[in-house]
Structures are given as structure tokens and as C-alpha cells.
Structure 1
Amino acid sequence: MTELDIAEVARRAGVAASTLRFYEEKGLIVSTGRRGLRRQYDPGVLERLALIALGRTAGFSLEEIARMFTPDGRPRIDRRMLAGKADELDRRIRELRVLRDSLRHAAACPAPSHVECPTFRRILDDAVSGSLRPPPKRRVPPH
């Protein structure tokens, strides 16, 4: 397969050319040379860019992502690091669920004012202390 120029890689990977230059500066990708003023890349760079995008989406730093490749560019992913990141995401998901449920409670709270709602007051206290907890389940009155 023929080499791809920077514009084609940027288009196919969905990133700006400046991002490609930045990734190259950080050692995440390597150009194979230049044709005129345009950097050229091996088509395999697209898979590497996909792995970088996946790592960024998962919350890995560029330094962590760089360590996921061998010097010749092949993936070398530390499974313990992946498991640790998955655990971190699980914690964040739990926090976000509590936050979502707190917002839903505040939106639907029947109290005349949020400051009069004991659940909302607890949410405020928890937010200040950094320990949001799930609000208690509301009992549904019998019809």
C-alpha cells in the first residue's frame, strides 16, 4: 500500500494535522518522510491513531498511551493498567449515577423550595464534603 500524506491521514483519522504533528513530536507516531513539504505516513498509522483515540477516550494520558507501544510501533498493552483504568471508570460511573440521581431528585422534588427538602440539603452537604451518596429511595404512596 502506498504512503499517505498528512492531509489524508488527518481526514481519515478525524483529527487535525496539528494533532498529528503534536503526536509525532511526543513520539506517538512517526512519519516516514516528506513529499515536498507534506509529511508522509505508513497506512498502519491509522490503526495506531485509533488506539490512541481509544486510550484518550478511556482517560489515559499521552504518556501512558506512549508506553503502550513498543519502540517499533507495535501495541504492548499492560493488562493490569487496563484493569486499573476499568476500576477507575467503574468508580466514576458510580459517582456520575449518584450525581444524575441527585439532579433528577432536585428536578422532581415536591418540596416548596429545595432548601426545605431534607434530601436536597443532604446532597448539598455531601457535595461540599466531596462524598455524594445515592439519595434514599422515595416511597410511592398507595393509590
Structure 2
Amino acid sequence: MDISEVARRTGVPASTLRYYENRGLITSLAKKGLRRKFASSVLEQLALIALGRAAGLSLDEVQAMLTPSGKPNIDRQLLAAKADQIDQMISQLSAVRRGLRHAAVCPAPSHAECPTFKRLLKAAASGALNRVRGESPLKSDKKPSVTLQGSVRHSPAAARPKPARRQRT
């Protein structure tokens, strides 16, 4: 199939397909005129690349999981380590979400008086929130956990507006 068909079927722009080919992640069979031709197996390779990128793997890490023939050679230890990182990110982002939801309904006169919001600001100031998003820490390789526990619960569920229900007609 030609490059436009691969792009249409995968949603990957032709420019990205050419970039992947230049990096050695995929290979074309030949060029017909100015258009590259690919084997149908390129769809599976692109799916593996997309999965790796969604999991936060670098293109170098993804490339290491592809043999020269394009068949997968999965590094199970790398996948387990990446899954552990994702679990940590989910935990940290959940704590941030809880803090934001609390701050949105906190009955304190101002956010400056809300202990939960103060902890959220402290985590942001320390750079912990940037590390949650995968940005590199400035001063340390350690990833402190974002902890917003111990907050005073002001029954945010009671203060949160309930969605309107649709009436059947």
C-alpha cells in the first residue's frame, strides 16, 4: 500500500511515516514515482509504535523493541518498569485531582486559608507537579510523592452541584 493509504488507515501523517522510516522504525518496500510503498505489516509496527508512545516510551526504546525485520521483540522488564511509573503517575495525579476538587468547593473564606489548597501549592512550588507530568526535576532525581492527605473534609459532595436529570417525555 502506498504512503497515503497507510496514513489514512492509521491516522499517522505522511511526514511522520517518512520520519519513522528515516529513523529505521519502519521500512518501505520501494518507491513508485515519488510515493513510498509499504507492506501491510507496517500497520502492526505502527500500532506498536503508537502503543509505546502512549505508554511514554521514547522512540529509541520503541525501536529497541523492533527487530530489523519489523517483528516485535518486547523487553518485558522495560514494560513492567513503565507500568510502575504509570501507576505512580496515576496515584499522584489522583491526589492532585482530589486537591483541586476540594479547593473548588472548600468553604474556607479564601483559598489561602484552606490547608488542602496550601499543600497543593507547596507541591507545585517544589516541582513535584512538573515531575508528575514527566518533566525533569531541576534539583533532584527523586520523585517526591504528591500527598494531599490529612485535609479537612468539608463534605465537597454536598456542595458540588448535581447534574440535572433528563425527564422522559
TM-score (norm 2): 0.77
The answer to whether 1:67 aligns with 2:64 is: yes
* 8 Å CA contact 2:52, 2:62 repeated in 1: yes
Is there any run of 5+ residues in structure 1 with no aligned partner, and where?
none
SS in structure 2 at match of 1:123: helix
Cα distance between partner residues in 2 of 1:116 and 1:17: 53
Give the equivalent residue in structure 2 for 1:19: 16
Superposition map of 1:70-109 within 5 A = 70-109=67-106
Cα distance between partner residues in 2 of 1:9 and 1:43: 9
User: RMSD of the TM alignment (CA)?
Assistant: 1.3
What letter is aligned with 2:120?
I
**Alignment deviations for residues 36-81 of structure 1 (CA, whole Å, 9 cap, x no partner):** 1100000100011011001100000000000001111110001001
Residue 139 of structure 1 deviates from its aligned partner by 6.5
Give the equivalent residue in structure 1 for 2:150: 136
* 8 Å CA contact 1:28, 1:66 repeated in 2: yes
Cα distance between partner residues in 2 of 1:70 and 1:125: 46
The answer to whether 1:50 aligns with 2:64 is: no
**Alignment deviations for residues 66-111 of structure 1 (CA, whole Å, 9 cap, x no partner):** 0001111110001001000000101111111011011001101101
What letter is aligned with 1:52?
I
**Alignment deviations for residues 21-42 of structure 1 (CA, whole Å, 9 cap, x no partner):** 0000110000000111100000
> Structure 1 residue runs of 4+, over 6 Å off?
none
Residue 128 of structure 1 deviates from its aligned partner by 1.8
| Percent identity (aligned) | 57
Cα distance between partner residues in 1 of 2:79 and 2:122: 34
